[in-house]
Structure 1
């Protein structure tokens, strides 16, 4: 078992951290061909299996990333299902299922039961019903090859990791596709990113129980590691110190406040009453008219006062001439 875990850890590092892996490729994780479950070429099982896998591929465009189907009867009946990671697009999901189908036929020829995992999808089939049944075997552990290092940092890291997984499990069991992703800020490392997922054909309580078991498995495969992945047929978890999933787009900025409406004209509304803007015009026109009246009143007052002053001066000037004439006549 120790050599097996070492092999998985090395494979994990080569697959996930090799720069030769193209963005369009799907990283293989693990597969299992169930022993003592082979079929013969002259039976109807291979044709039923081919029809089942073809149908799964055609249904991989489903928006929820999950599909199941059965074909055949009795011992030659095939049950199959697929699941893509919850953040994957329908196009990428279909590409992953296509790769998984081609790969599993090569890795598990003539087997009646098999399962294969990639970084973005899982495909399995069997000659027994595998629908709505929680299954935690076979199981694969994939540990990140890099260690945390400092024991103090490791304790803080583990505490943050458990807290993150607890939050994600609660969100996953209440979601429609049993998937959750997110991150948690930490002190030893800036962030821990994680995903949890169950097949949606089991109950929420079964999903929680399955995922809780995978968190416990972290101590077996990934203690002191900077990342890890635990896979079972019914559920899986993964954590890393880098964002490995496709984050949803940022929400749009809040809508700006609407501009104030343009003041309406003074035309009459259908009821024959003036619109509200007529009050504004009235408020403006009344003080303006008063100012004009006051201005002209002042001007008129000044004019009359000035005229009266001139007339008064003229009258005073006339009396002086008369007095002067009297004085001259007396001489």
Structure 2
């Protein structure tokens, strides 16, 4: 399996920082992962199953409280698919994002059997291997290397995000946002979300593990994001 498209992540993160400052919320491509090219994806049976799978996710996911996991095909031809939208967006934006994520997958990973697409508002994943409910610690942290926070805010911020992580797993949609008032240094915003195919216990464990893993990387950065197969954590000014 290939690594995250880090260049795409870094560029997008700069955009997200700018958007956060002006309080806008746009659906941007955040990250993409494609498995190695596999010519068997050109076989008609795989294409038919994939088209049917993406059609189901696009049609039924947004109206299913923004989350759907399903399969298409049988035995060796089975494809597993999952879509999930951010917990605070409308059904209309969820539908638009899901359509866009499938378009990205088909355009940029046309010969891959395992694909993950992260957009600001939604997440899409499909594979010929079973992954529902399987906790995977694969993740990456993206930071702005030139934008540093005040030292008095850093320790409060890490403790704050730890609380966000704990609270997230207890929410109905395993999605949570919170605001930290840093006084004269302004406000800081935190968000965390887990995919709903994993248990609440795994959600809590996954978020806590990633925060500990990237504590040094995050350091004193004013804004950062952690992307994982089953989570998304954001901290920004």
TM-score range, shorter chain: 0.7 to 0.9
**CA 1:38–1:74 in 2, change beyond 3 Å: closer, same or farther?**
farther
**Hey, what does 2:230 align to over in structure 1?**
234
1:168 to 161, 164, 168: 164
Do structure 1's residue 9 and structure 2's residue 10 form an aligned pair?
yes
Q: Does the 8 Å CA contact 2:12/2:29 hold for their aligned counterparts?
A: no
TM-score (norm 1): 0.64
Q: Does the 8 Å CA contact 1:63/1:90 hold for their aligned counterparts?
A: no
- Which runs of structure 1 show a deviation greater than 4 angstroms over 4 or more consecutive aligned residues? 4-7
- 2 CA distance for matches of 1:5 and 1:68? 27
Higher RCO by CA contacts (8 Å cutoff, separation 6 or greater)? 2
- 2 CA distance for matches of 1:24 and 1:195? 14
The one-character-per-residue Cα deviations of 1:85-112 (angstroms, maximum 9, x if unpaired) are: 1111111111111111001111101211
**CA 1:180–1:11 in 2, change beyond 3 Å: closer, same or farther?**
closer
- Cα RMSD for the two superposed structures: 2.4
Structure 2 SS opposite 1:39: helix
**Equivalences for 1:135-146 in 2 at 5 Å?**
135-137=136-138, 139-144=139-144, 146=146
**CA 1:6–1:174 in 2, change beyond 3 Å: closer, same or farther?**
same
Q: Does the 8 Å CA contact 1:28/1:119 hold for their aligned counterparts?
A: yes
Q: Does the 8 Å CA contact 1:144/1:226 hold for their aligned counterparts?
A: yes
**Equivalences for 1:15-164 in 2 at 5 Å?**
17=18, 26-35=27-36, 37-62=38-63, 64-137=65-138, 139-144=139-144, 146-148=146-148, 153-154=150-151, 156-164=152-160
Q: Provide structure 1 residue ranges, at least 5 long, that are not aligned to the other structure.
A: 242-331
- 2 CA distance for matches of 1:89 and 1:36? 35
The one-character-per-residue Cα deviations of 1:229-275 (angstroms, maximum 9, x if unpaired) are: 1111111100111xxxxxxxxxxxxxxxxxxxxxxxxxxxxxxxxxx
Q: Does the 8 Å CA contact 1:8/1:141 hold for their aligned counterparts?
A: no
The one-character-per-residue Cα deviations of 1:171-200 (angstroms, maximum 9, x if unpaired) are: 211112111110112256222101011112
Q: Provide structure 2 residue ranges, at least 5 long, that are not aligned to the other structure.
A: none
**Hey, what does 1:204 align to over in structure 2?**
200
Structure 2 SS opposite 1:44: helix
User: Paired residues, what number?
Assistant: 230
Structure 1 SS opposite 2:48: helix
Larger radius of gyration: 1
- 2 CA distance for matches of 1:220 and 1:66? 33
**Hey, what does 1:178 align to over in structure 2?**
174
Q: Does the 8 Å CA contact 1:38/1:112 hold for their aligned counterparts?
A: no
